[in-house]
Amino acid sequence: MGFPEGFLWGGATAANQCEGAYNEGGRGLANVDVCPHGEDRFPVCLGHKKMLRPDSEHYYPAMEAIDMYHHYKEDIAMFGEMGFKTYRLSIAWTRIFPNGDEAEPNEEGLQFYENVFKECHKYGIEPLVTITHFDCPIHLIEEYGGWKNRKLVDFYKKLVTVLFTRYKGLVKYWLTFNEINMILHLPFMGAGLVFEEGEDETQAKYLAAHHELVASAEATRIAHEIDPENMVGCMLAAGSTYPHTCHPADVWKALEKDRENYFFIDVQARGYYPNYAKKFFERENIKIDITPEDEKLLRENTVDFVSFSYYSSRCTSADPNVAVTDGNAFASVKNPYLKASEWGWQIDPLGLRTTLNTLYDRYQKPLFIVENGLGAVDTPDENGYVEDDYRIDYLREHIKAMKDAIELDGVDLLGYTSWGCIDLVSASTGEMKKRYGFIYVDKDNEGNGTLKRTPKKSFYWYKKVIESNGEEL
Ligand code: BGP
């Protein structure tokens, strides 16, 4: 019993949070490059402050990040040393198509990822590739309005066709859009949406969401056509919503909140728009051109597996006066039974078991936890070594919950990739200080540091976890 043979243990990163080299190798400018550190970050990520070009007043952490572009061999060797079976990484769209709408891809970008994938295979690491992790070429935003425009579906189709063809035999596991539901919460970062004064944001977000859902189904279709071995997954920012009390109004509110997120996966995993969503569109006067061809495509091309990130459960109340806390761009009501991270994200390992069961009951497809971890402040000693017992505790408890879901509940789980297996730039705050890694990277919030990599205590702990297939925790 315990974890199944071949369980995919590993870690996860995203191009924009670790690669850097934003203007090297023929790469074009992307939305993620111009999300600054500091007080303008949120307005920009929300699509409320238009900043499509960098300026000299701001610091843009993604531009250099941890410079994995130049350090990938060293970094993958360390993942290999931990015994990773899989490494989740994302492709920077603008390395492949710098503007997004070129006729031909950029060979240097294609070669870069080929080298990365080959490097992974050297250590027996199976790449798990997110096709878009929040990134969208700036040119597609300026010229077409980002995902609001259906033309993006064609550009995305082109991108995936190139990727599936070029990396056939090197990559088997693909995710179409990272945290697809983030479009509702950080629409510029998630989908390149910038809003005009007075624009109906809900309309724009759901229209863009439809285009992404169609693009995702197209990717699934093309992936299977090019190589029937390909396994394509969707990706949800998950975390079950609890009612703050057993008051029926709170319970109803929690159901509604969960549906806001499940909506995307309902379409990707079941193949059609659920009735509650159609009613919501009617009520809100949201107009989306869902064509009969779209319906057919969605129905015939559901995903092979459902992946998700889990940091925290959520809590909601029908009473607007109840206190809230932060949590992965979703504000949540404070749950009095849970402790929270230094960033206010509530820690709930049992909530992971609940989430796994809910998703498995709902979709009956294999699941994959592709993000989980603790963002914390680390204090290295003079050699750069960090004793991160707090991180080990967090991960241990979540891995136990995942084990229960497999062993006691029979959930079909393909693997687990903890988030930010090497320290990287935080998506929500743009900080380096919020660290998730097993590997410490010497760099601070202002961009100073040697970029030196040093294994933390958790590095050696995770190595044992993998070696023992989750028995030694
Ligand atoms: C998810 C994103 C990641 C990642 C993670 C942690 O929303 O998919 O990109 O960053 O959350 O969030 P943060 O970096 O804000 O701590």
Q: What is the pLDDT of residues 200-225, one digit of tens each?
A: 999 999 999 999 999 999 999 999 99
Q: What is the pLDDT of residues 51-99, one digit of tens each?
A: 999 999 999 999 999 999 999 999 999 999 999 999 999 999 999 999 9
Residue 446 pLDDT > 90, yes or no? yes
- pLDDT at position 187: 97
**CB 355 near ligand 1, within 6 Å:** no
Tell me which of 308, 391, 428, 445 to substitute to probe ligand 1's pocket, judged by most ligand atoms within 8 Å of the beta carbon.
Answer: 428
Q: Where are the beta strands (DSSP E) in 183-320?
A: 231-238, 241-243, 305-310, 314-316
- pLDDT at position 326: 67
Ligand 1 center to 420 CA (angstroms): 8
Query: Residue 163 is encoded by which pair of tokens?
Result: 């990727």
- pLDDT at position 2: 86
What value does the mean pLDDT of the chain take?
97
Residue 323 pLDDT > 80, yes or no? no
Could you tell me which of 254, 219, 224 has the C-alpha nearest to residue 239? 254
- pLDDT at position 156: 98
Residue range 17-46: average pLDDT? 97
Ligand 1 center to 210 CA (angstroms): 23
Rounded CA gap, 91 and 69, in Å? 12
Ligand 1 center to 293 CA (angstroms): 34
The angle formed by the CA atoms of residues 223, 226 and 229, to the nearest 5 degrees, is: 70
**CB 90 near ligand 1, within 6 Å:** no
Coil, helix or strand for 88? strand
Residue 320 pLDDT > 90, yes or no? no
Ligand 1 atom nearest to CA at 178 = 8
pLDDT-derived band of residue 325, with 50, 70 and 90 as boundaries? Answer: confident
pLDDT-derived band of residue 286, with 50, 70 and 90 as boundaries? Answer: very high
Q: Is 142 a catalytic residue?
A: no
Rounded CA gap, 80 and 130, in Å? 20
Containing 176, the helix (H) or strand (E) segment is: strand 173-177
Share of the chain above pLDDT 90, in %: 97
Tell me which of 45, 131, 311, 328 to substitute to probe ligand 1's pocket, judged by most ligand atoms within 8 Å of the beta carbon.
Answer: 328
**CB 328 near ligand 1, within 6 Å:** yes
pLDDT-derived band of residue 444, with 50, 70 and 90 as boundaries? Answer: very high
Residue range 150-169: average pLDDT? 98
Query: Residue 403 is encoded by which pair of tokens?
Result: 């084990």
Rounded CA gap, 93 and 155, in Å? 10
Residue range 115-141: average pLDDT? 98
Share of the chain above pLDDT 70, in %: 99
Rounded CA gap, 470 and 473, in Å? 7
pLDDT-derived band of residue 394, with 50, 70 and 90 as boundaries? Answer: very high
**CB 419 near ligand 1, within 6 Å:** yes
**CB 426 near ligand 1, within 6 Å:** yes
pLDDT-derived band of residue 327, with 50, 70 and 90 as boundaries? Answer: low
Cβ-based neighbours of 368, under 8 Å, separated by 6 or more: 8, 128, 233, 305, 306, 307, 308, 413, 414, 415, 416, 417
**CB 94 near ligand 1, within 6 Å:** no
Asked if 381 and 333 touch (Cβ cutoff 8 Å), the reply is no
Ligand 1 center to 427 CA (angstroms): 5
Ligand 1 center to 146 CA (angstroms): 21
Residue range 19-45: average pLDDT? 97
Q: Is 104 a catalytic residue?
A: no
Residue nearest to atom 5 of ligand 1 (CA): 427
In terms of pTM, does the model score above 0.85? yes
Asked if 439 and 80 touch (Cβ cutoff 8 Å), the reply is no
Residue 347 pLDDT > 90, yes or no? yes
Query: Residue 376 is encoded by which pair of tokens?
Result: 């914390």
CATH code 3.20.20.80 for 8-467: yes
Asked if 205 and 199 touch (Cβ cutoff 8 Å), the reply is no
Could you tell me which of 19, 218, 53, 25 has the C-alpha nearest to residue 134? 19
Could you tell me which of 431, 449, 283, 264 has the C-alpha nearest to residue 359? 264
Ligand 1 atom nearest to CA at 182 = 7
CA dihedral 312, 315, 320, 325 (to 10 degrees): -30
Residue 27 pLDDT > 70, yes or no? yes
Residue range 33-59: average pLDDT? 96
First-last CA distance in the chain: 15
pLDDT-derived band of residue 328, with 50, 70 and 90 as boundaries? Answer: low
Rounded CA gap, 208 and 177, in Å? 13
pLDDT-derived band of residue 283, with 50, 70 and 90 as boundaries? Answer: very high
Q: What is the pLDDT of residues 329-338, one digit of tens each?
A: 677 899 999 9
Catalytic residue among 19, 179, 212, 431: 179
Containing 90, the helix (H) or strand (E) segment is: strand 86-90
Rounded CA gap, 2 and 8, in Å? 13
**CB 445 near ligand 1, within 6 Å:** no
Residue nearest to atom 16 of ligand 1 (CA): 426
Ligand 1 center to 18 CA (angstroms): 12
